[in-house]
Structure 1
Amino acid sequence: MVTLRAFRALRPVPEKAARVAAVPYDIICEAEARSVIARNPLSFLRISLSEAELTENTDYSNDQVFSKAVENLHQFIKNGIFIQDAEPSIYVYRLSNNIRKQTGIVACCSIDEYERGMIKPHETTRPDKVENRKAQMLALKAHTGLIFLAFRSNEKVKNLMSEVTSQAPIYDFSCEDSIRQTIWRVSQPDEIIRAFSDIRTLYIADGHHRLESAAKVREIMRQQNPSHTGKEEYNYVMAGIFPSDELQILPYNRIIEDLNGLTPDEFLKKLTENFIVRETRKKKPSKSGDFCMYLGDGKWFELRYKADKAPGDDKIENLDVSILHRFILSPILGIQNQRTDARIEFVGGIFGPEELEKYVDTGHAKVAFSLFPISIDELFEIADSGKILPPKSTWFEPKLKDGLLIHLFFGDKL
């Protein structure tokens, strides 16, 4: 049984929402954020990535960063850019384009349920990133970005959301990425909240660091509050919760700086030990177990994993990202740790194979690998087993926007 809780969202006035909405802080670099802010001073990046307004290369853990975020949020409120809903609500959030749409619920989830394993992760977190988000949450006294959660599709929940979407939304606009953002407020949310009591498990799609940070913030707040009851706002974290059958996972592709001292011909020969290698016009693999590889000069290769090399029934070891690491990245290219080796970079599938070609053709990399995406069912199965996916295994698209809904720890004050 999953517990949802309504909250009084701090949110932009409708006429400013399109300008406030921003990409998540962790998919944009500081230089790009500076450029966005220069064009649009209402961007929520001024709060979520406030170091972009300080001296270049300011350490993101510097206290000035968090002070700047607080200053900017207070200024947005003072200038009437943000308002707060008068009564606790939940929200229906739809992201759509001409091809597809996904519709979910925004509400607060119990941090206790996360710690009890009812909200399941599939990635490990980095302590430095957790500490950074923890410090920002404590400074702002708020959750300013959505945890992206998924649940096994439930017709009752979807029907209730459909009823809401027949009404007038509070926001309806398209961003620069052509994704339409539509949000409805549900001021009488009891029926939807009850429907979620039939759902036993939620899964983290994106936002592992935010959720772990929220758990650490809750512990600090609990220790500082002698009257702690467990019902305070800081015991709950804001999330966007979407049905699995509407989610899209794209691959997380890889580019490698060099061939570890090998010539292209030597590299190709080594690959034939574990793969059937052939030149191809394909730039994306059509099934799991296949890879497409770009070596420059317009040459793409298809790598088909030899079936007799299969590692058995281990779900993690059979993932394409694991096969790539075990048979290519580690033994041939000398990359032992994908998290720390500076020779590897990760490119979200949203950018397409043309981006991979550009990296290689401009000399930024020597080889690029295009992968087949993991399925949502595979992710659920691995999370249910308590296992962790290899680094950078999933890229969910579209990304939920920051800045449209904010959850305050103390209800109506910062």
Structure 2
Amino acid sequence: MAEIQPLRGWRYSPELSQRIDQYVSPLFDVVSPRQREALYQNPLNSIHLSVPRGEDPAGAALARLQQWQQQGILRQDELPGIYAYYQYFRLPGSAREYCRKGFMCHIRASDWAENVVLRHENTLPAAVNDRAELLARTEFESSATHGLYRDDTFELERYLDEAMLNPLYETAEDYQGARDVLAVIQDARVIRRFQQVLAGREVILADGHHRYEGSLAYRQARRAAAGTAYTGQEAWNYHLMYLTNAAADDLRILPTHRLLLELPGIGGPAELLARLAPYFTVLPLEDPYGLPERIAGKPWAFGLYLGEGEVYKIRLRPEVHTQLDWLTTPEVKALDLTVLHYFVLERVLGVAGPEAQRQWPGVAYVRNFPECLTRVDRGEARAAFITNEVSMAEVERVCHSGAVMPPKSTFFYPKTIGGFLFASISEAETTAPFSSVFHS
């Protein structure tokens, strides 16, 4: 089961931490080009380490990291700890303030086959190689991946709440509107209890599959190079992860809708509807902005917007579900998005098979519902399929079945931010003071 370790975190100096909002950044795979350019204008923003650019991006990140360390811009905590990380946020249409509670630590990077860390989506090799190269050159992690463990007793939350009484710093509001707060636990007795709780559990990887696989690739290369000198305690065996409790009500997963940029072999809306009819019941509606409410909580139901007042609710005919013949588990076949990808992308549009669909440029994945409607109205897309969110229970069932979901199935909200806490996996961390205390 999961092995976690405390770490001696690297953080912006106390002077800079007072203005931490200026130095944090979105994750490398969600930052928009406009956001990216604005952040690059700040020479001390963490994006220079997480998404470096230039002819040799990894080399540029290493040079900047060394400069920041030498100048005291980044400083390392003397004692190892587990870092409590809370994110306060609201959702549109709700007055409730949510608080997602979790903690950042090092977790042993386990191969997928070990069934300790479970994935729910596939990765793209090019993106993994990019992350692995950056890690190999810098031996430094600028953002935590997001993992989920389940503890229905909520034992660890009381330690996290206590740590939050004395926060290290917090953002006023990050790029997504959340307020992020960081604290640290350095009590050895409490840290060992965290280790004991996680030792009995698997971890589901919610976000950061490419960064995690980059850590795996780097660990494998270092282990092969170490040969008989390998001990398993080397710092590069570990990976920075933000762990949250899957049993918590403040864990939110938002839907990701599908925009069809083209309709191969289909003349227009009437022909699309005719091809959908053998598989779906089709109900015309008037208000496109009411689509999320009309499909909410209904399995295999989707909103369909074709522009020019053509709005529909479609729902799979239950008797045709048995036609779904992809070689995957029943848990995956039961998902709304599997139904959508099979019966719409494969059966109706002829894009056959999950791999072909992953590579097909005719579909775009959009989280913002009004944006879907706007892009169809502008003629940038031919159709918008509006989806329900995936539940945490569905994620857990799929992961434990050993399968993966269709691409872009989950959007855990809010995202963690880069630059709030950094972690080193250099050789110096292997022999750092107190590092051996927490190894069993």
What TM-score do you get using the length of structure 2 for normalisation?
Answer: 0.85
Alignment partner, residue 283 of structure 1: 291
Q: Is 1:378 aligned to 2:394, yes or no?
A: yes
Q: AA paired with 1:212?
A: E
Instruction: Map Cα deviations across residues 5-62 of structure 1 (whole Å, 9 max, x no partner).
Output: 0111111231242111111101125564123323x333222221112xx3xxxxxxx6
CA distance in 2, matches of 1:189, 1:380: 31
1:124 and 1:166, CA in 2 relative to 1: closer, same or farther beyond 3 A?
same
Alignment partner, residue 259 of structure 1: 263
Q: AA paired with 1:135?
A: E
Q: AA paired with 1:401?
A: I
Shift of 1:259: 2.3
CA distance in 2, matches of 1:143, 1:214: 10
CA distance in 2, matches of 1:279, 1:41: 53
Alignment partner, residue 48 of structure 2: 46
CA distance in 2, matches of 1:248, 1:189: 32
Contact 1:11–1:82, Cα closer than 8 Å, also in 2: yes
Alignment partner, residue 128 of structure 2: 130
CA distance in 2, matches of 1:24, 1:309: 40
CA distance in 1, matches of 2:422, 2:85: 14
Instruction: Map Cα deviations across residues 286-336 of structure 1 (whole Å, 9 max, x no partner).
Output: 122110111112432111121222339922112111111111112222333
Alignment partner, residue 58 of structure 1: none
The partner residue of 1:270 within 272, 275, 295 is 275
Shift of 1:189: 4.6
Q: Which stretch of structure 1 is more off in the superposition, 77-86 or 381-390? A: 77-86
Contact 1:251–1:395, Cα closer than 8 Å, also in 2: yes
RMSD: 2.1
Mapping of residues 8-407 of structure 1, within 5 Å? 8-13=8-13, 14-30=17-33, 32-38=35-41, 40-51=42-53, 54=54, 64-98=56-90, 99-112=97-110, 116-153=114-151, 154-198=153-197, 199-225=200-226, 227-244=229-246, 245=248, 246-260=250-264, 261-280=266-285, 281=287, 282-284=290-292, 285-287=295-297, 288-311=299-322, 314-336=330-352, 337-348=356-367, 351=368, 353-407=369-423
Instruction: Map Cα deviations across residues 170-215 of structure 1 (whole Å, 9 max, x no partner).
Output: 3343213220010101122532442442342111001111111101
Instruction: Map Cα deviations across residues 216-247 of structure 1 (whole Å, 9 max, x no partner).
Output: 11122223336332111111111000011231
Contact 1:121–1:208, Cα closer than 8 Å, also in 2: yes
Q: Which stretch of structure 1 is more off in the superposition, 171-180 or 188-197? A: 188-197
Contact 1:290–1:303, Cα closer than 8 Å, also in 2: yes
CA distance in 2, matches of 1:354, 1:112: 40
Alignment partner, residue 59 of structure 1: none
CA distance in 1, matches of 2:208, 2:240: 11
Q: AA paired with 1:248?
A: R
1:333 and 1:217, CA in 2 relative to 1: closer, same or farther beyond 3 A?
same
Instruction: Map Cα deviations across residues 243-299 of structure 1 (whole Å, 9 max, x no partner).
Output: 112311111211111222321111112212111112223221212211011111243
Q: AA paired with 2:213?
A: E
CA distance in 2, matches of 1:238, 1:232: 14
Q: Which stretch of structure 1 is more off in the superposition, 96-105 or 363-372? A: 96-105
Shift of 1:144: 2.1
CA distance in 1, matches of 2:35, 2:171: 26
1:283 and 1:108, CA in 2 relative to 1: closer, same or farther beyond 3 A?
same
Instruction: Map Cα deviations across residues 372-409 of structure 1 (whole Å, 9 max, x no partner).
Output: 11111111111111111111111111000111111111
CA distance in 1, matches of 2:35, 2:346: 32
CA distance in 1, matches of 2:2, 2:162: 21
Contact 1:8–1:411, Cα closer than 8 Å, also in 2: no
1:164 and 1:135, CA in 2 relative to 1: closer, same or farther beyond 3 A?
same
Contact 1:145–1:238, Cα closer than 8 Å, also in 2: yes
Q: Which stretch of structure 1 is more off in the superposition, 159-168 or 245-254? A: 159-168
SS in 2 for 1:137: helix
CA distance in 2, matches of 1:161, 1:298: 51
What TM-score do you get using the length of structure 1 for normalisation?
Answer: 0.90
Contact 2:7–2:80, Cα closer than 8 Å, also in 1: yes
Alignment partner, residue 57 of structure 1: none
1:335 and 1:79, CA in 2 relative to 1: closer, same or farther beyond 3 A?
farther
Contact 1:172–1:183, Cα closer than 8 Å, also in 2: no
Unaligned runs of 5+ in 1: 55-61
The share of aligned pairs that are identical, in percent, is: 24
CA distance in 2, matches of 1:225, 1:49: 29
1:361 and 1:36, CA in 2 relative to 1: closer, same or farther beyond 3 A?
farther
Unaligned runs of 5+ in 2: 91-96, 430-440
1:187 and 1:195, CA in 2 relative to 1: closer, same or farther beyond 3 A?
closer
